[in-house]
Amino acid sequence: MINLRGIEKRYGGVTALDQVSLDIARGELVVLIGPSGCGKSTLLRTVNRMTEPDAGQIIIDGRDALESDPVLLRRSIGYVIQNVGLFPHMTVRENVAVVLQLLGWDKARRLLRADDMLELVRLDPHKFGGRYPGQLSGGQQQRVGIARALAADPALLLMDEPFSAVDPITREQLQEELLRIQRDVRKTILFVTHDIDEAIRLADKICLLRDGAVVQYADPDTLLRQPADAFVAQFFGQEPALRRLARFSVADFVRTDAASVAAAVAAHAAGVASLPLRAGARTALSKLLGGHALLPVADDAGVVVGQVALGDLVLARAAPAPGAEHAVGAAAGKALAA
């Protein structure tokens, strides 16, 4: 889908990108990460030519992006940024439909599509479509930004630290929503973050950059288990098994047999707060280390459906092969929806 070859970018005497080459397959979610100033956002912006590279080649779906009209190129690529960039004088529905207007869609068709996209990001179009951005929370605005980026059904989506301006709880919810949407629509996504846990949780592959150059490009499991050098090992920390928990949700470990459900219901009745099925496994670990023998797990309706205990999380050590974790989450999601 995307082939970057020898991308270079310099600002005066400073090298921002140094011979970067990457191959990104169709449907992959690739995360760019690294220290501040490593070139990750610069590299992202070269793909839609918001930043013009000084040298190199950018091939998108077999076509040379550097030979395309940059305006038309950008309209064909979804783009989500940290501060969303919604137009304050336009309603939510109009914001989502703005690219479709530029593409010449008629009003009825684009507003219908906007409502479909709002439903995709779990914002009721009847409730939120007529509101203005200032009437939304930060997390809701980010959902609108994702809906707008997906409205024209682009094959490629660029996301530049889209969740960094929201609180940790909202951030986790947005991450889960992105994974859910990705399971549903399977876009090719290039995602910039400075958050290591976010990268590990979301990515099919991670590209670690330093001083504008690629240090290692691999799936999260390989990066954690087989770092290419001391810099990679230090960057991702000394607890790879703990880091890997970011790849999982409570749904991957919940026990739902009759005895487990009964124990969970009793614990909940005794005042132990339940965890949602889609909560992160690291969240469960943190709460379990706080002293609970088990935690009740509830579905979206708040009904207790099982439990998770500290011993269950040890299963992470015998987790699926590299790249398979999201498949586990997808299977769990299908089971929950059944």
CATH of the domain at 256: 3.90.1280.20
Per-residue pLDDT of 209-228, as tens digits, reads: 999 999 999 999 899 989 99
Residues 198 and 180 in one domain: yes
CA distance 117 to 37: 34
Given a cut of 50, whether residue 276 has pLDDT beyond it is: yes
Residues 278 and 179 in one domain: no
Torsion sign across C-alpha atoms 249, 254, 256, 257: positive
- If one counts the domains in the chain, the total is 2
Residue 325 — pLDDT band, cuts 50, 70, 90?
very low
What's the pTM? Answer: 0.81
The three-state secondary structure class of 63 is: strand
Q: Which of 239, 261, 280 is the last residue of a domain?
A: 239
Residues 266 and 333 in one domain: yes
pLDDT (0 to 100) of residue 315: 55
Residues 308 and 162 in one domain: no
Residues 190 and 295 in one domain: no
pLDDT (0 to 100) of residue 335: 32
CA distance 224 to 112: 44
Residues 214 and 282 in one domain: no
Per-residue pLDDT of 26-73, as tens digits, reads: 999 999 999 999 999 999 999 999 999 999 999 999 999 999 999 999
Residues 27 and 97 in one domain: yes
- Runs of H (alpha helix) within the chain: 40-47, 70-75, 92-102, 107-120, 125-128, 138-150, 168-185, 196-202, 220-225, 230-236, 240-244, 258-269, 281-289, 310-313, 325-337
Four-CA torsion 57, 62, 67, 72, nearest 10 degrees: -120
Per-residue pLDDT of 82-99, as tens digits, reads: 777 889 999 999 999 998
CA distances from 19 to 16, 268, 323 (A): 10, 56, 27
Given a cut of 80, whether residue 328 has pLDDT beyond it is: no
Residue 170 — pLDDT band, cuts 50, 70, 90?
confident
Residues 88 and 65 in one domain: yes
Q: Which of 239, 268, 288 is the last residue of a domain?
A: 239
**Domain harbouring 59, CATH code:** 3.40.50.300
Candidates 222, 153, 143; CA nearest to 180 is 143
CA distance 46 to 52: 6
Given a cut of 50, whether residue 334 has pLDDT beyond it is: no
Given a cut of 50, whether residue 317 has pLDDT beyond it is: no
Domain coverage including residue 89: 2-239
Residues of the chain with pLDDT > 70: what percent? 92
Residues 138 and 264 in one domain: no
Burial call 100-112: b when 16+ CB within 10 Å, e when fewer: beeeebeeeebbe
Residues 216 and 79 in one domain: yes
Per-residue pLDDT of 174-211, as tens digits, reads: 898 899 899 888 999 999 999 998 999 999 999 999 99
Residues 123 and 271 in one domain: no
Q: Which of 206, 239, 272 is the last residue of a domain?
A: 239
Indicate the average pLDDT of the chain.
88
Residues 30 and 135 in one domain: yes
Per-residue pLDDT of 67-82, as tens digits, reads: 999 999 998 999 998 7
